[in-house]
């Protein structure tokens, strides 16, 4: 019998210690906490505010932890969920708009473990409660809007080049420009090509017309742009909801996943995600003095709005709008080529461009303002005539001026907004313009909301079935295979430690209820390897082999079979991961990890134990306890 | 137990009768699937499911009443685990506000019964449902296809066709039972069916492996004797592993809650059939394909290297 290599013992020990260490944080339960962060992302929570939080909670008689800085926010541990909810309500009232107060969970992992980067497993929404939305971006509308804008550009380019055309027809993703004769069509090629580089030009022989087909890359750009813009806008909104560890992710070509762990009020989340914001371009009524605006009484034909960045200084604007946000097709930050000053490049659609051209042509040298309009619908408590409290939706609209700039020249479909203080301001304005443009309407195509109590129930159900399943399997193995059964059982427990350790180590891995089922199933299936080996050893003994030989032969013969049998299940797990959604993917993950680690523990692990008892150091056994 | 004499059951004796039975079961399941179909869960059909919990037991008639008066006459109201918890399933709607149905339903029930809390809302748009259905079908086919390729690569074509046929046999009969009993079939059940494919093939491979080994090593040339011997030798393993897996599935069935019920049901049924098929269907087909010692002599050449 060959000597069992020593490195395998060390490998086994190393893996177990490592996984055990990283699995350890899972036994420290999370405690409820409130998380305070500044509304302006990136700002720290000041010492003064921290003091204010402390005194507010003390006054209300709520027990709380000292608080700790997590990234740029301040996390305060609470005793229980009830106090956590009260603390949040209290703090958001006291701290006001400048801070976002969110519910969160604080890990109780000891410092030395955290220093090693160990943290508990991520729990899926089905275990911790929360809302999952899948939003579909309406691409048809996006492309249609852009086609409208391009059709306007084509017309303008032809007009500027002095080429007469009869009509521009939009058909899905193709523009057809019709001319009176072939000469005009030929003359139109060059200006159209420069004006619309996103299109492929073709000229049918028979008719005097030019077909412009949108490049696939341009379509993809539109889609990417629309999805990213919406993702950014949604991300901002989710931040305002004050949800810790929220996820806003693109999924596939035209979908966005929003996951809000711990959110209990899905209806509120839905309202905020569905909030609309838009813009208007208006002339500043500069024939009136600034004092006039300060009186608060608007002269006829004008309105007063606060200028957000200038301490809400009142600004007097003409009532008539030049163009609105739904006419903005694109906005991006850029720099002036000569001065290097930051600017925002804006594109308008055909209608917006016409209006912009007309008004600005007459008002060169006058200031123009960008007005931001935000509509929120909130549920408010109302006492009805029977004295009963009911919830009623109420819409509130915020309007404020975000930018005032002087019109330098007649503006068309593409223009720039200058006079901005910094690149940061320019990029924020571009973002707001884009967000306000609502280039891509979204619809919710999937929602999964799990209440927190159900989440807790699911964890309990998962744990209970795991414990029972485990107990049954351990008992069976012990009765059936005696000492070897005990080895298999120890290996099984080690397997569990490895699964939990690996799940905690992989940052993207999430434990879901089907994931727990995957672990439970692995417990049942993991002993298969040992059953195979042990049955082989018994068979060998029956055939008259000596114990050590029987062991050696049993392990080596069974190995290939185990490998074959397990690889197939791993293939299935990979397929399941690619086909399934969230919680089912969790099953695929634990199944995959479980099978891999079970091969390790069931083959190398039990072998090591067998060697310790029946190996070289010991006397040659006369009989095996199997 | 180790001293017990090895079993020697003549498994191949009733192979014709059992073969016919398998064929009848598969055909019957196919007919059921074709006519009655599966009771597809919301993941695949789209629609909305709401689960609410009351402070006391909830009367489902009251819930139905609240809903039918407000345009949700088609809602399916069922107890969910206990009498305090009720699940309401509404089929997909055409109107634009389809995604708000869940919250409307909750408000209506809350209006009728009073103090209830929302345990769960699931809304799946019809488009997403269709996609998930297509993806799932594709995943099943892909799993079977890849298994075929793997076994072909590791064993021989006769083994590949036999084991994968056994897999298809297991999947069809399990689905057939789901159709017969109209058990709900959702994404978790699909996960169970895929896990079943892995498990059942695992079983078949162990038997196939032994058949191959015995063909190579034994002086016996009669396929019946060899196949029979291999099944007998692996029988205690086959039964023990199925048994431990069923133990954990029973635990899941008992304590895993509503979500895990259908999952454990599918696997319990599947593993039962899979255990049978890895003994009978694989062997039966190998027999039908006239597997013989020659099949392995060719394969031995290329595979001798990767044996330890």
pLDDT digits (tens, 9 = 90+) for A196-231: 888 888 888 788 888 999 888 888 888 888 888 788
CB contact under 8 A, A267 and B103: yes
- The dihedrals phi and psi of A124, each to the nearest 5 degrees, come to -70, 165
Note the pLDDT of residue B7. 64
- What's the pLDDT tens digit per position in A145-163? 788 778 888 888 888 888 8
Joined together, the tokens standing for residue B269 give 């049924």
Q: Which residues of B touch A528 (CB under 8 A)?
A: 202, 237, 241, 244-245
| Distance separating alpha carbons of residues A91 and A67, to the nearest angstrom | 14
CATH class name, domain B15-40+129-303: mainly alpha
Q: What is the dihedral of CA B150, B153, B158, B161, to 10 degrees?
A: 20
How many whole angstroms from its chain centre is CA A417?
Answer: 32
Joined together, the tokens standing for residue A499 give 């699964």
Label the pairing between strands A68-70 and A73-77: antiparallel
CB contact under 8 A, A560 and B51: no
Report the topology of domain A31-106.
Answer: Alpha-Beta Plaits (3.30.70)
Pick B252's closest partner by Cβ from A473, A520, A531: A520
| Distance separating alpha carbons of residues A260 and A283, to the nearest angstrom | 41
Residue B100: CA count within 13 A, CB half-sphere: 12
Q: Is B154 on the interface with A (CB under 8 A)?
A: yes
CB contact under 8 A, A468 and B254: yes
CB contact under 8 A, A523 and B202: no
- Closest by CA to A466, choosing from A412, A518, A411, is A518
Residue A50: CB atoms within 10 A of its CB come to: 17
Mutation pick from B167, B244, B266, B307 vs chain A, by most beta carbons of A within 10 Å, is B244
- What's the pLDDT tens digit per position in B189-219? 999 999 999 899 988 888 888 888 888 888 8
Pick A524's closest partner by Cβ from B191, B236, B245: B245
Note the pLDDT of residue B308. 41
Q: Assess contact for A249 and A256: CB atoms under 8 A.
A: yes
Distance from CA of B221 to the nearest CA of A (A): 21
Distance from CA of A552 to the nearest CA of B (A): 12
Tell me the domain boundaries of chain A. 6-25+451-614, 31-106, 130-274, 278-440
Q: Which residues of A touch B233 (CB under 8 A)?
A: 539
CB contact under 8 A, B237 and A581: no
Q: Is B99 on the interface with A (CB under 8 A)?
A: yes
For chain A, what percent of residues have pLDDT higher than 90? 15
Angle between helices B187-217 and A547-579 (to 10 degrees): 150
How many whole angstroms from its chain centre is CA A514?
Answer: 22
CB contact under 8 A, B308 and A443: no
- Closest by CA to A418, choosing from A320, A325, A333, is A333
- Closest by CA to B81, choosing from B216, B259, B302, B213, is B259
Structure confidence at residue A391 as a pLDDT band (50, 70, 90): very low
CB contact under 8 A, B143 and A572: yes
Shortest CA distance from B121: residue in chain A: A449
Give me the architecture of the A6-25+451-614 domain, per CATH: Up-down Bundle (1.20)
- The dihedrals phi and psi of B213, each to the nearest 5 degrees, come to -60, -45
- What's the pLDDT tens digit per position in A400-448? 887 888 888 888 888 887 767 777 667 666 766 665 544 466 777 888 8
Note the pLDDT of residue A431. 62
- What's the pLDDT tens digit per position in A128-147? 888 888 888 878 777 887 88
CB contact under 8 A, B188 and A447: no
Structure confidence at residue A618 as a pLDDT band (50, 70, 90): low
Q: Provide the phi-psi class of B206: left if phi over 0, else alpha when psi is between -120 and 50, else beta.
A: alpha
- The dihedrals phi and psi of A615, each to the nearest 5 degrees, come to -75, -165
Domain covering A278-440 in this structure, CATH number: 3.30.1360.200
Q: Assess contact for A168 and A156: CB atoms under 8 A.
A: no
Note the pLDDT of residue B97. 64
Q: Which residues of A touch B141 (CB under 8 A)?
A: none
How many whole angstroms from its chain centre is CA A142?
Answer: 22
Note the pLDDT of residue A40. 60
**Residue partners of A9: CB distance under 8 A and separation at least 6:** A608
Pick B251's closest partner by Cβ from A469, A565, A591: A469
Q: Which residues of A touch B147 (CB under 8 A)?
A: 568, 571-572
Task: Please measure the distance between the N-terminal and C-terminal CA atoms of chain A and give it in whole angstroms.
Answer: 19
Pick B257's closest partner by Cβ from A457, A576, A584: A457
* pLDDT at residue B21 greater than cutoff 90: yes
Q: Assess contact for A4 and A607: CB atoms under 8 A.
A: yes
- Closest by CA to A274, choosing from B167, B97, B59, is B97
pTM over 0.95: no
User: A–B: how many Cβ contacts below 8 A?
Assistant: 236
Q: Assess contact for A373 and A280: CB atoms under 8 A.
A: yes
Q: Which residues of B touch A126 (CB under 8 A)?
A: 259
Q: Assess contact for A215 and A174: CB atoms under 8 A.
A: no
Q: Is B195 on the interface with A (CB under 8 A)?
A: yes
ipTM for this prediction: 0.88
* From A102-106, A182-186, A497-501, the region with the lowest mean pLDDT: A102-106
Residue A510: CB atoms within 10 A of its CB come to: 22
Q: Assess contact for A613 and A547: CB atoms under 8 A.
A: no
Report the topology of domain B47-124.
Answer: Alpha-Beta Plaits (3.30.70)
Pick B99's closest partner by Cβ from A444, A532, A575: A444
CB contact under 8 A, A524 and B53: no
Residue B270: CA count within 13 A, CB half-sphere: 29
Distance from CA of B159 to the nearest CA of A (A): 13
Shortest CA distance from A529: residue in chain B: B241
Tell me the domain boundaries of chain B. 15-40+129-303, 47-124
């Amino acid at each position: 019998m060959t000597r069992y290599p020593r490195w395998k013992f060390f490998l086994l020990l190393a893996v177990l210690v490592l996984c055990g260490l990283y699995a350890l944080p899972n036994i420290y339960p999370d405690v409820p906490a409130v998380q305070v962060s500044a509304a302006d992302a990136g700002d720290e929570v000041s010492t003064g505010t921290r003091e204010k939080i402390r005194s507010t909670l003390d006054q209300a008689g709520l027990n709380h932890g000292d608080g700790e800085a997590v990234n740029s926010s301040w996390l305060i541990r609470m005793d229980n969920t009830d106090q956590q909810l009260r603390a949040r309500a209290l703090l958001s009232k006291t701290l006001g708009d400048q801070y976002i107060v969110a519910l969160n969970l604080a890990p109780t992992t000891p410092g030395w473990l955290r220093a090693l980067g160990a943290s508990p497993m991520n729990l899926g929404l089905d275990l911790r409660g929360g809302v999952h939305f899948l939003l579909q971006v309406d691409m048809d509308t996006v492309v249609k809007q852009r086609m409208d804008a391009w059709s306007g550009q084509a017309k303008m380019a032809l007009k500027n080049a002095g080429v007469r055309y009869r009509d521009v027809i939009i058909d899905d993703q193709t523009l057809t420009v019709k001319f009176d004769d072939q000469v005009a069509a030929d003359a139109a090629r060059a200006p159209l090509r420069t004006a619309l580089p996103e299109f492929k030009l073709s000229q049918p022989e028979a008719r005097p017309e030019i077909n412009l087909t949108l490049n696939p890359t341009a379509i993809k750009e539109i889609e990417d742009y629309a999805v990213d813009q919406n993702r950014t806008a949604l991300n901002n909104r989710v931040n305002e909801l004050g949800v810790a560890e929220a996820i806003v992710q693109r999924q596939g070509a035209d979908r966005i996943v929003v996951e809000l762990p711990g959110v209990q009020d899905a209806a509120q989340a839905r309202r905020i995600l569905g909030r609309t914001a838009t813009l208007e371009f208006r002339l500043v009524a500069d024939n009136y003095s600034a004092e006039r605006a300060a009186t608060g009484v608007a002269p006829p034909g004008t309105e007063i709005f606060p200028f957000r960045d200038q301490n809400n200084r009142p600004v007097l604007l003409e009532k008539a709008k030049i163009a609105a946000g739904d006419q903005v097709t694109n906005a991006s930050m850029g720099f002036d080529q000569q001065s290097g000053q930051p600017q925002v490049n804006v594109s308008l659609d055909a209608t917006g461009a016409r209006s912009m051209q007309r008004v600005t042509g007459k008002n060169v040298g006058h200031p123009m303002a960008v007005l931001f309009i935000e509509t929120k619908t909130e549920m408010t408590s109302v006492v009805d005539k029977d004295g009963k409290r009911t919830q009623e939706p109420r819409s509130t609209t915020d309007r404020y001026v975000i930018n005032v700039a002087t019109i330098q020249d007649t503006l068309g479909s593409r223009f720039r907004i200058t006079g901005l203080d910094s690149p940061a301001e320019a990029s924020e304005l571009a973002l707001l313009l884009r967000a306000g443009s609502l280039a891509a309407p979204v619809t919710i195509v999937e929602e999964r909301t799990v209440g927190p109590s159900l989440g807790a129930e699911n964890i309990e159900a998962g744990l209970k079935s795991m414990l029972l399943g485990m107990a049954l399997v351990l008992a069976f193995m012990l009765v059936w295979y005696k000492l070897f059964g005990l080895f298999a059982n120890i290996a099984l427990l080690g397997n569990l430690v490895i699964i939990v350790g690996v799940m905690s180590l992989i940052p993207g891995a999430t434990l879901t209820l089907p994931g727990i089922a995957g672990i439970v199933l692995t417990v049942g299936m993991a002993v298969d390897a040992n059953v195979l080996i042990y049955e082989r050893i018994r068979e060998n003994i029956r055939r008259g082999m000596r114990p050590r030989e029987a062991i050696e032969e049993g392990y080596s013969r069974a190995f290939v079979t185990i490998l074959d049998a397990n690889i197939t299940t791993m293939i299935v797990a990979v397929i399941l991961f690619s086909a399934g959604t969230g919680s089912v993917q969790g099953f695929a993950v634990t199944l995959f990890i479980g099978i891999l680690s079970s091969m390790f523990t069931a083959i190398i692990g039990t072998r090591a134990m067998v060697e310790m008892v029946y190996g070289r150091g010991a006397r040659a056994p006369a009989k095996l306890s199997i | 137990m180790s001293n017990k004499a090895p079993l020697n059951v003549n498994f191949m004796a009733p192979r014709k009768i059992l073969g016919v039975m398998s064929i009848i079961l598969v055909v019957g399941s196919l007919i059921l699937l074709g006519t009655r179909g599966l009771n597809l869960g919301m993941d695949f059909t789209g629609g909305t499911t709401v689960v609410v919990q009351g402070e006391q037991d909830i009367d489902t008639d009251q819930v139905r009443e609240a809903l039918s008066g407000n345009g949700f006459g088609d809602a399916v109201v069922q107890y969910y685990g206990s009498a305090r918890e009720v699940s309401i399933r509404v089929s997909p709607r055409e109107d634009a506000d389809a995604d708000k149905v869940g919250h409307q339903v909750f408000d209506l029930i809350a209006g009728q019964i009073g103090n209830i809390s929302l345990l769960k809302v699931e809304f799946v748009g019809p488009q997403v449902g269709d996609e998930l259905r297509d993806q799932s079908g594709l995943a099943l086919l892909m799993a079977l296809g890849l298994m075929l390729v793997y076994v072909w690569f590791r064993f021989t074509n006769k083994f590949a066709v036999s084991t994968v046929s056994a897999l298809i046999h297991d999947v069809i009969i399990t689905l057939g039972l789901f159709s017969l009993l109209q058990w709900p079939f959702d994404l978790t059940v699909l996960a169970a069916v895929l896990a079943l494919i892995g498990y059942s093939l695992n079983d078949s491979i162990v038997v196939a492996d032994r058949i191959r080994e015995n063909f190579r090593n034994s002086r016996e040339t009669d396929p019946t004797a060899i196949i029979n011997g291999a099944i007998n030798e692996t029988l205690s393993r086959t039964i023990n592993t199925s048994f431990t897996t069923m133990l954990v599935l029973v635990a899941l069935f008992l304590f895993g809650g509503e979500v895990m019920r259908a999952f454990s049901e599918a696997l319990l049924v599947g593993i039962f059939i899979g255990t049978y098929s890895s003994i009978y269907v694989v062997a039966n087909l190998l027999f039908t394909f006239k597997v013989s010692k020659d099949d392995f002599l060719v394969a031995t050449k290329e595979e001798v290297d990767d044996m330890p």
